[in-house]
Structure 1
Amino acid sequence: MQRSKILLGGLFALTYAGLTQGAFAQSGEIKIGEINSYSLLPAFTEPYRKGWQLAVEEINAAGGINGKKLVVVSKDDGGKPADAQTAANELVSSENVAMLTGTFLSNIGLAVSDFANQKKVFFLAAEPLTDAITWSKGNRYTFRLRPSNYMQAAMLVEAAAKLPAKRWATIAPNYEYGQSAVSVFKKLMSEKRPDIQWVEEQWPPQGKIDAGPVVQAVAAANPEAILNVEFGADLVKLVREGNTRGLFKDRTVVSFLTGEPEYLDPLKDETPEGWIVTGYPWYSIKTPEHDAFLKAYQSKYNDYPRLGSIVGYETIKAAAAILTKANSTDPEKLIAAAEGISLSSPFGEITFRKIDHQSTLGAFVGKTALKDGKGVMVDSIYRKGSDYLPSDAEVEKMRPKD
């Protein structure tokens, strides 16, 4: 009998020790779930991954989240909304993550945002730019880091409206991001310049542009200026074909994202000059915040950052700041902590607005140029996101009530 008690006591002690160790292990770290299109869009997502890995390293070196180690569990969505929702479900149900972060394509960001809203999980969208994610389809569980289509369009329109051009054509990928970007650019541009005519629209499928017919159709419409929303490999094909056929000769082009190194670098000596673009001229930014980031990034990777590097880095830095302020993984407390929070970034201080959960991270606007056989951004100016957002009253009309 005595021996049985000892055995039972020993088993209990071992079980208790195991439970305690498990509890300590769990309480000793905080997990964030991260989802992105790594296999589909490596030009952006590989620098993005390097950015968030650097952030995790810095956060943990500084003591983690209120003394707990930050762990990021990452999944590849393959560029498919359904796979992204599956990944989100696995991260929440199996990995017990405190929040979800990431996504690139706008349709995938919306899919994960919908999942977060249904399951009541905090979601910090990193890259998707569609205005719907914080406005028409916004919800209390979703926040967004990058400046939206509206914000970048407003920055570009500021320069484009000064052009004499009246006849405009648009070229954009035929999915949520491209549709949203063209829609808001046309709206803001027409408000500033009612005399403008929109003479042609081309909507090639994302990732599958047949550049010859697109360039031919735009040229046939004889526009004085072109809005471009293509990026990645599609942009390279469009520029090559446009250069060959003289589409850009004596025409102004206004272009979302083209000044980002991940999209500008592949153009090499084919880079068209004088395009008005948003982007990231890392080589000409001289601020203490960016200098510190650049030094740390180059020291760790022996490479220069891309815009994806900034987005990945600041996404995890923002997530950590929200978790630290909330001192909890409860979604409602995370929301309360995130609404109105201000934090530093390589581009200066940013705030997540309470009204729509949009951050005030800005973007650089400048022009494309060729330097030593490589595309660069010149005459670039940082535009604060807070200066290019609609008023609270306008947002209330667009955003559904929680």
Structure 2
Amino acid sequence: MFKLNALARIRPLIAGAAGLLVAVGAQAQSVLKIGEVNSYKAQPAFLEPYKKGMQLAVDEVNAAGGVMGRKVELITRDDNANPGDAVRAAEELLSRERVDVLTGSFLSHIGLALTDFAKQKKVFFLAGEPLTDKIVWDNGNRYTFRLRTSTYMQVAMLMPDVTAMKKKRWAIVYPNYEYGQSAAASFKKLLKAAQPDVEFVAEQAPPLGKVDAGSVVQALADAKPDAIFNVLFGADLAKFVREGNTRGLFKGMEVASLLTGEPEYLDPLKDEAPDGWVVTGYPWYAIKTPEHEAFRSAYEAKFKEYPRLGSVVGYSSIKSIIEGVKKAGSTDTEKMITAFRGLNVVTPFGPIVFRPEDHQSTMGAYVGRTKNEGGKGVMVNPRYMDGAKFLPSADEVKKMRPAD
């Protein structure tokens, strides 16, 4: 009798505990967790707007009821611009935070480290920003997709303007790490194919973030080039432009430059902004498409400032993941991979597609010339270059990319 009475007394407690566990489990399932790793402290000019763009997208999704009844939670980690730290952060997001998918990375060597991590752990990874072509070609794998326009694509977008310059002697300057090396190699390959008599008379490759602008500018001037291809960005770009202006390097010189038209890098130059450089960038003030107007209006209302390119990339990364989850009907890795192959997403730059053959999106970029307008750099005569037109064919991809 005692045992029966005791059992009767504890049965409600057991039932209550079981109910609590079910409730906790249901609550956990009600949140879709996106884990994100990036170089926030090392590259704040791009990544602070990028984080705001991600948050805007998350807020919009949650305000609309979430995705499949689940609210979205964004959990970020700083990688200290170090591949080892990036991998450790990704591991912690998976094991401790139990995130459903991974995204992020800015620096190309970090992106490659996370690409390999995704392959080893068999987890879905959307590389938002790193530009190296290896992410989708040489080192591509079934678990990794990439959003942003790659180095090869952006260099190819500059080629019509570059070849129209009809300059024979070119000098190149780039940061000496994966992104810079990749951009320089693509430039030489594409220009040589279009203009066989071209000569590359100088090549300067300072360490990222440690450019000795005086010696770089002097070396370029000594080579007496007809034109310069620049890949430096951020603080390195500012030092290079300042020293080049001081020494007259750019006077009468044609310059083609990756990323320089992005407000993250053009705005800080202020009255030192160069005139007439052919650049890729983001003329937010000149884009009048419905998709961009809606994005810009929402961004400015929320943050009381205009968007940067990082804002577009962060926003589009989250929107891509959400569309992938909707199409997959799940966050299961294999279902996400299937969903992303051929996934259509509407971004502030218009519709894009993630190609099945290499997991590269068709997001494009704007090309124009810089102008110093009242002590501020802007892009003039910008035109949008559709990324789909600057990608290799499926047959070419097969020769470059390992089989999944």
Match among 359, 384, 390 for residue 361 of structure 2: 359
- 1:339 is aligned to 341
- 2:23 is aligned to 21
Partner of 1:162, secondary structure, is helix
- 2:193 is aligned to 191
Q: CA deviation at 1:185?
A: 1.1
**Structure 1 unpaired stretches of 5+:** none
Partner of 1:200, secondary structure, is strand
- Is 1:44 aligned with 2:36? no
Partner of 1:344, secondary structure, is strand
- 1:90 is aligned to 92
Structure 1 segment 310-349 matched on structure 2, within 5 A: 310-349=312-351
Match among 110, 135, 138 for residue 136 of structure 1: 138
Q: CA deviation at 1:3?
A: 4.3
Q: CA deviation at 1:164?
A: 2.0
Q: 1: distance between equivalents of 2:160 and 2:141?
A: 30
Q: 2: distance between equivalents of 1:184 and 1:8?
A: 72
Q: CA deviation at 1:7?
A: 3.8
Structure 1 segment 130-209 matched on structure 2, within 5 A: 130-209=132-211
One-letter amino acid matched to 2:67? I
323-332 or 41-50: which moved more?
323-332
Partner of 1:161, secondary structure, is helix
Q: 1: distance between equivalents of 2:326 and 2:344?
A: 13
Q: 2: distance between equivalents of 1:385 and 1:134?
A: 14
Q: 2: distance between equivalents of 1:156 and 1:266?
A: 23
- 2:352 is aligned to 350
- 1:379 is aligned to 381
Q: CA deviation at 1:18?
A: 2.0
Per-residue deviation, residues 120-143 of structure 1 (Å, max 9, x unmatched): 000000000000000000000000
Identity %: 58
Q: CA deviation at 1:243?
A: 0.5
- 1:127 is aligned to 129
One-letter amino acid matched to 1:229? V
Structure 1 segment 276-315 matched on structure 2, within 5 A: 276-315=278-317
Q: 2: distance between equivalents of 1:392 and 1:346?
A: 27
Match among 54, 57, 60 for residue 58 of structure 1: 60
CA RMSD of aligned residues (A): 0.8
Per-residue deviation, residues 215-262 of structure 1 (Å, max 9, x unmatched): 000100000000000000000000000000111111101000000000
64-73 or 281-290: which moved more?
64-73
Q: CA deviation at 1:17?
A: 2.1
Q: 1: distance between equivalents of 2:10 and 2:250?
A: 82
Q: 2: distance between equivalents of 1:15 and 1:153?
A: 61
Partner of 1:294, secondary structure, is helix
TM-score by length of 2: 0.98
Partner of 1:349, secondary structure, is strand
- 1:271 is aligned to 273
**Structure 2 unpaired stretches of 5+:** none
One-letter amino acid matched to 2:33? K
259-268 or 15-24: which moved more?
15-24
- 2:232 is aligned to 230
Partner of 1:138, secondary structure, is coil
Partner of 2:181, secondary structure, is helix
Q: CA deviation at 1:61?
A: 1.2
Q: 2: distance between equivalents of 1:13 and 1:83?
A: 44
Per-residue deviation, residues 262-315 of structure 1 (Å, max 9, x unmatched): 000000000010000000000000111000000000000000000000000000
Q: 2: distance between equivalents of 1:3 and 1:363?
A: 74
One-letter amino acid matched to 2:105? T
- 1:10 is aligned to 12
Q: CA deviation at 1:370?
A: 1.1
Q: 1: distance between equivalents of 2:205 and 2:125?
A: 30
Partner of 1:169, secondary structure, is strand
TM-score by length of 1: 0.99
Q: CA deviation at 1:11?
A: 2.7
Q: 2: distance between equivalents of 1:130 and 1:301?
A: 31
Partner of 2:19, secondary structure, is helix
Per-residue deviation, residues 323-344 of structure 1 (Å, max 9, x unmatched): 1111112100000000001111
Q: 1: distance between equivalents of 2:377 and 2:45?
A: 16
Partner of 1:256, secondary structure, is strand
Q: 2: distance between equivalents of 1:106 and 1:266?
A: 23
